[in-house]
Structure 1
Amino acid sequence: MKVSDALERLKNRGYKYTGKREKMIQLFADEDRYIPAKEVLEHMQKDYPGLSFDTIYRNLSLFQELDILEETELEGEKRFRITCQTNSHHHHLICLACGRTEHFHTCPVSEETIAAQFPAFQVEGHKFEVYGTCATCIKN
């Protein structure tokens, strides 16, 4: 997702534009990895020294609610990344060393398989993540 698209989404849903929100979104747009809230706070405090962890988390939750950010949990900690620009169904490979992600478009779960085993269950969506170490981190 582009920063301009994210800011437009905020505006269309009735939330105000602030420089802090733009800077947070830009941080995620510049990174191709999941980022913990602590790292977001450290980055933001350079320009906004009085910024609280609560403010960071409120905005991260809002961005996730508006599908600006995606969330996962690594090592018991929530981490966030900008929502993928692709509209096609895909999943992620996530490097445990650096947090970088790669898309893969093969889906191991089919709605037909679930419907056959659980006919009364209506699938609304799913998420599949594979954790490991990327080629760059293996080299280093």
Structure 2
Amino acid sequence: MHKELVDYKEMLKEAKFKVTKKRLRMIEIFMEDERYLSAKEIQEMMNQDYPGISYDTIYRNLHTLKDINVLEQTTFSGEMQYKISCTDHHHHHFICEQCGETKVVRYCPVETWENELNGVKINSHKIELYGLCEKCQ
């Protein structure tokens, strides 16, 4: 479950960023799409509402939204990809390398790994599985 747009507005305000129409539209695009998107895809979608929007503006806002935990970031197919952050529970993702669709993986193996590594304390982690979804196989 994702937050509502009003929650994201509050996150921007708390981080001392302006709440602009462009930022809100970008957040809406991510809220509507349950997959990782590249900066190029976001630029193409934003260009419909804001003709001529620059790649620099897109990239700057993607980084801002990532820094305040509105977006998650990963790299696949050789480029940075972004999606709305999942904040309701701890989980990991399966990511389709062709279409970018993501599926939630609720099992977390970190406790098992910590036991196998005998004496270590894992402070943080991020697990992503890559492959092809049913439609892309």
TM over 0.5: yes
Partner of 1:59: 61
- Percent sequence identity over matched residues? 43
Matches within 5 A, 1:1-140: 1=2, 2-86=4-88, 88-110=89-111, 112-113=114-115, 116=118, 119=120, 123-138=122-137
Amino acid of the structure 2 residue aligned with 1:97: Q
CA contact (8 A) 2:114 2:122 kept: no
Q: Structure 2 CA distance, aligned partners of 1:102 and 1:3? A: 22
CA distance in 2, matches of 1:19, 1:132: 35
One-letter amino acid of the structure 2 residue matched with residue 64 of structure 1: K
The two structures, once aligned, show a CA RMSD in angstroms of 1.8
Aligned partners of 2:117 and 2:131: how far apart in 1? Answer: 30
Instruction: Extract unaligned runs of 5+ from structure 2.
Output: none
Contact 2:37 2:81 (C-alpha < 8 Å) held by counterparts: yes
The number of residue pairs the alignment matches comes to 134
Of 34-43 and 12-21, the range deviating more from structure 2:
12-21
Deviations 1:95-116 (CA, angstroms, capped at 9, x unpaired): 1121111111111222733762
- Whole-angstrom distance in 2 between the partners of 1:57 and 1:132: 26
Stretches of structure 1 that go unaligned for 5 or more consecutive residues are: none
**TM-score, reference length from structure 1:** 0.86
